[in-house]
Amino acid sequence: MPITVTFLELTDPDGIRPPSRPARRDYVLEPIDDPQLARWFYERIGANHSWVDRLSWSPEQWRERAEQGEAWMASVDGDRAGFFALRLSEDPVEIDIFGLLREYQGFGLGGHLLTDALRRGFEVGDRVWLHTCTLDSPHALPNYEARGMRAYRTERRG
């Protein structure tokens, strides 16, 4: 099945557009340094979106990727809700993984968590980018664009 991959960027922190409404659930954002937690989120969030590229990664590969950046977890009432990882080993900053667990979707958390990811990205770099595809949530691309990100390239694969 052919997919379309869209690459998006934001080049100015003043271009970040936070959601206009508060999320219907409050969350706490905390840094994490456990590569296996990143894997846990990748597996669970990605199960609904055909994320398969990293399923065969060894613990060493997850550790190496973790050393290239930083990761942050959103918790709701003490439970894991969402996650983003920033890849800092290259300039610009890449939002390497971003997503919410299914049970925390629909509460308006995604726009707020993405705003946090973009702000953190600009604290450490001059440009923030990511890629998404037609296998991701149908809300992903509209969320990225609503926060101010602009598509700069698309690729058709398969």
DSSP state of 143: H
pLDDT band at 1 (very low <50, low <70, confident <90, very high): confident
CB atoms within 10 A of CB 13: 16
Q: In what order do the strands lie in the sheet with 79-87?
A: 28-32, 69-76, 79-87, 93-100, 128-133, 3-10, 150-157
pLDDT, one tens digit per residue, over 66-122 is: 999 999 999 999 999 999 999 997 679 999 999 999 999 989 999 999 999 999 999
Domain range spanning residue 97? Answer: 3-157
Is there a contact between 45 and 51 (Cβ–Cβ < 8 Å)?
yes
DSSP string, 74-118: EEETTEEEEEEEEE-SSSSEEEEEEEE-GGGTTSSHHHHHHHHHH
pLDDT band at 51 (very low <50, low <70, confident <90, very high): confident
pLDDT band at 59 (very low <50, low <70, confident <90, very high): very high
pLDDT, one tens digit per residue, over 111-148 is: 999 999 999 999 999 999 999 999 999 999 999 999 99
Q: How many domains does the chain have?
A: 1
- CATH number reported for the structural domain that contains residue 121 in this entry: 3.40.630.30
pLDDT band at 37 (very low <50, low <70, confident <90, very high): very high
Cα–Cα distance between 38 and 40 in angstroms, integer? Answer: 5
Average pLDDT value for residue range 40-61: 90
pLDDT at 47: 87
pLDDT at 117: 98
User: Residue holding tokens 């959601």?
Assistant: 19
Q: How far is CA 145 from the centre of its chain?
A: 13
